[in-house]
Amino acid sequence: MTDQLARGPTSGSKPALEGWRTWLFIGATGFGGPAAQIALLHREVVERQRWLDEEEFLAAMRICMLLPGPEAQQLATYAGWRIGGLPGGLLSGSLFVLPGAVLVTLLAWLHAVGEKSPFVTAAFAGTRPAVVALIVLACSRIGRKSLTSPATAVVALAALVAVAAGVSFPIVLFVAGAVGFCMPADGRAGGKAGETTARPTAASMEPRPRARSLLIVVAVAASLWLAALAAVRLFGLAGDRGTAIATLFTETTLLSFGGAYAVVPWALDESLARGWLEAGERFDALAMGEATPGPLILVTTFIGFLAGYRTALPGNAAAGFAGAAIATLFAFLPSFALILAVAPAVRSIHASPRLRQTMSTIGAAIVAAILVLAIRLAADAFAPAGRVELLPIAVALAAGITLWRGWASAPVVIVVAAAVGLLARP
């Protein structure tokens, strides 16, 4: 592996050796989704520790938003690489994920062993209207960024019809991206009117690193992926579902352009179709992802646990924990590989208008997929027995207004909604 990739530009300094405390703190307190996590990262690595300057932080953030995978985790990985080389990047990215992954796994176990308990059932049922509010707000937030022209609105409408008709989400994403790439680039796609490509700065004028480091990272990551998949298959981890868990959640990360909400609806539908989840547990998976620290894509950990737990030997906790570990590993291995592959070039990469336009049409398709998910979950949450109930609607409205006004964070809203579910238990 090249020296530049292995050591990083500023590795060997004291912060690189002591940075684990900062990464663990960020991983354990990173509630509120990618926007809040990126703000927390900025405060710690730019304002307090001064490991990155403002210009480089913003450049890295833009690249992470273009890459598939959780952007906040990739940004933390890049910052760790900058101060500690490859070990620093692996440490920072791992500690960003591990606290949330452990917590989600424990909550999944509690959900599984207590699914017959009326208290556990009521608490999870109470979160469902709040989850609907979270999804609607996410759809609105992504829509404001992506639906910036009549063309993207048309793409979103076409994607809405396709997703609702059952067309595979990867196909919808591919077609949307191809449409955006083929459209004439005007230098404004995906941004505000009048926005143009940023001019190169002194930092961006550095010589581009050789392609060798990128190829090395890709080759090593592919080898690790194959070795891990062989181990899962050889030892029969998570019962007969280990291989399927690994491949599905690798695809989940590689398709997650624009954040976890881009592909979580598809992952939930796939898990439901495979019998890993029941219909109502789509709410529970999203609630766990929103209420715990770390990336939303940790819903894969929740799904992985239940998939393993419900193998040929139902109630097998060991298979459940194995399923959660497999889901987490294979969901984040591509994320690490992608950001470490481009890390040496972050300061010299500028997104072209055509690339930003492609991402804009992909974002429009994502809005459509999220809207379909919101409609389906709203139907289940507001009319669980085929009859509309007023309490879930009131909870959803209260949760939506609270989140929109910024009166409370998502984890607080989820916990309060669970308490309402317990109080309303017959």
The CA-atom distances, in angstroms, between 49 and each of 26, 57, 89 are: 13, 13, 16
The contacts of residue 16 (CB under 8 Å, 6+ apart) are 8, 10, 83, 84, 85, 88
d(Cα 343, Cα 9) in Å, to the nearest integer? 10
- pLDDT, block means (10 residues), the chain with 426 residues: 56 59 89 80 90 88 86 94 90 94 94 80 86 87 83 92 88 89 63 41 44 83 95 90 96 83 85 91 87 90 95 80 96 94 80 76 86 86 85 93 89 90 83
Tell me how far CA of residue 389 lies from CA of 270, 385, 393, in angstroms: 28, 9, 7
Q: Which amino acid is at 142?
A: I
Q: What are phi and psi of 198, to 5 degrees?
A: -65, 145
**CB neighbours (10 Å) of residue 319?**
25
- Give the span between the Cα atoms of 426 and 424, in whole angstroms: 6
- Terminal Cα-to-Cα distance of the chain (whole angstroms): 62
Q: Is the dihedral of CA 86, 251, 328, 222 positive or negative?
A: negative
DSSP assignment of 20-84, as one string?
A: HHHHHHHHHH--SHHHHHHHHHIIIIIIIS-SS-HHHHHHHHHHHHHSSS-HHHHHHHHHHHHHH
Residues whose CB is less than 8 angstroms from the CB of residue 193 and which lie 6 or more positions away in sequence, other chains included: none
Structure tokens at 113: 């062993």
Task: Read off the DSSP letter of residue 387.
Answer: S
Q: Which residue has the tokens 């208008």?
A: 353
Dihedral angle sign, alpha carbons of residues 332, 336, 341, 343? positive
Closest CA to 267 of 253, 281, 255, 252: 252
Residue of 245, 244, 255 whose CA lies nearest to 302: 245
Tokens of 164: 């609702």
- Whole-angstrom Cα Rg for the chain: 21
Q: What is residue 226's predicted lDDT score, i.e. its pLDDT?
A: 97
Report d(CA 422, CA 399) in Å as an integer.
Answer: 16
Alpha carbons 216 and 250: distance in angstroms, whole number = 20
Q: Which two tokens stand for residue 163?
A: 């997703």
Backbone torsion region of residue 365, taken as left when φ is above 0, otherwise alpha when ψ lies between -120 and 50, otherwise beta: alpha
Q: Model pTM?
A: 0.81
Euclidean distance between CA atoms 292 and 106, whole angstroms: 11
Closest CA to 212 of 303, 345, 101: 345
| Side-chain half-sphere exposure of 287, counting CA atoms within 13 A | 27
> Closest by alpha carbon to 79, among 39, 48, 52?
52
DSSP letter at 298?
A: G
* Contacts with 407 (C-beta within 8 Å, 6 or more apart), sequence order: 401
Which pLDDT score is estimated for 189?
A: 41
Q: Which residue has the tokens 């690249």?
A: 63
Q: Find the farthest-apart pair of alpha carbons in the chain and give their distance in angstroms, rounded.
A: 67
pLDDT score for 30: 86
Residue 331 pLDDT? 95
Note the pLDDT of residue 79.
Answer: 94
Which DSSP letter does residue 205 get? Answer: G
Tokens 């979580």 correspond to: 264
DSSP assigned state of 348: G
Task: Note the Cα 196 to chain centre separation in Å.
Answer: 28
